[in-house]
A and B are shown apart, each in its own frame.
Chain A
């Protein structure tokens, strides 16, 4: 906790210096303070972390084109012989105002191997992915992203259209080329229409911040078997989009069901028939 407050103070100091023309002319520069040790304390209770190479991988563009929509892909890369499974993956964007972007829990029978989503990145920053394994071990990997202003960037290029799709959930199944019938892995995507307001976007008319209003819980099932759940925050981009690769249950699921909740207590639900055509 102390670590995070120190960082806030330092950022405030930087902003004040800029206002009084202390010579800051360059584009956004990263804090010299490294928040990661404080985050390991806050989020992971200082548990030991192993090098994630060969266990968990993260992919993000080095330079984000649009700081409010930065794609991220998390991959479970445990070798075939490893009998452990990944229970959860936590995504941390170190320099964001709310660094814990999301925690994904992987359903026990779905063998989720890949999760992609889009996030807001507020500063040049390290991004960490921490995998919790079934043997109790933590594994960490990281990457670096150059972006700024994602969390306070104004939402919606098209405000009227955004209002129209609040709470709509879309589901899509993708063909999985090159995998062959034996792998059986499927790729699918859930999209939820939601502004996911960060609470850091200012409304100049009222001089107040647009209140935080975002999807905080998402669950995806195949029949009654949990595929994936997400506990999310304001670092997830507007219109949360989760794309994932999983293995259908052996009996062949009839439906994919989704339930999403937001910070105002709305519950959005939908379900779809599973397409078994092997598209």
Chain B
């Protein structure tokens, strides 16, 4: 009797002890079984623990899929705590929508025997070429305490065209995209609720960040719009109606494209792009001054080769 009582007490307290180490990340249930933590429109800092991207999880009758793990192992562990306070189903998949630090730095929190990391077929190469550089840069910006424990964990299951993952009562349709926001963008569609996790192919509120191909991204936006979904969880910004959520981003990228092309045509140098391209969009986006000049420089160096 005493043993069983002791065992019961231990079983009751252990999850509490584990969860007490990392308080669960605040999450919203966007649709039945679809949970998301909305990131802040900020740069990654020590104070925000890199929690600037939208990350979440989908709960099926058999298993859970995580979509992006955050900007630090700390954030990843808090996401794990949130998952554990919602369900005890096993985490079968951790899907990275692409390889930027705010989406992959929490991966180490999820390494487990039964968990498979999933990503675009070009994600392993992207992490291989950039991982070291990211750890260096963000180590300096956010401090060694937060970044020292980050591990670059590439996917072992990769997607070239599309791939279906089953969670029991629901199917996730994963799709790999040609170079757009990055060269390894992956979207996840939950068929059951019509929820599209678009990764950084979609930005709201937070200025879109160009790290792939402007031409490719504009093309992807057209195709994305054709996907039948009820709502989108973008990489940054609030969950929104679909495809209405695309219009702000389309407008910004088209403005960037138009302005840069005009500058190149009239023989202006790259500095003119950094200083003036898409200036009309300044009041429409958070972090405009942090990213627009860089987007313009990238767009200029891409378009001048056309």
Contact = CB atoms under 8 A, between A and B. Distances in A.
Contacts of B152: 204
The 5 closest A-B pairs by CB, nearest first: A174-B267, A204-B128, A65-B294, A65-B293, A25-B143
B89 interface: no
A66 B212 contact: no
Contacts of A160: 179
Nearest to B271: A71
A72 B127 CA distance: 31
Contacts of A239: 301, 305
A203 interface: yes
Nearest to A25: B143
Contact of A159 (B132, B183, B304): B183
Given A25-B143, A191-B304, A157 B133 contact: no
15 contacts: A21-B145, A28-B140, A61-B274, A65-B293, A69-B270, A69-B301, A153-B133, A154-B129, A157-B179, A158-B216, A191-B305, A202-B133, A205-B125, A239-B305, A241-B304
A2 B102 CA distance: 41
A267 to B, nearest CB: 21
A193 B267 CA distance: 19
B127 A204 contact: yes
Interface of B: 46, 125, 127-133, 136-137, 139-145, 148, 152, 179, 182-183, 211-213, 216, 267, 269-271, 274, 293-294, 297-298, 301-302, 304-305
Interface of A: 18-19, 21, 24-28, 61, 65-66, 69, 71, 73, 116, 118, 148-149, 152-154, 157-161, 165, 170, 172, 174-175, 187, 191, 193, 201-205, 239, 241, 243
A66 B144 contact: no
A66 B179 CA distance: 20
A152 B144 contact: no
A187 B145 contact: no
Contacts of A66: 294, 297-298
A161 B136 CA distance: 27
A116 B136 contact: no
B213 to A, nearest CB: 5
B137 A205 contact: no
A193 B304 CA distance: 11
Contacts of A241: 270, 304
Nearest to B291: A65
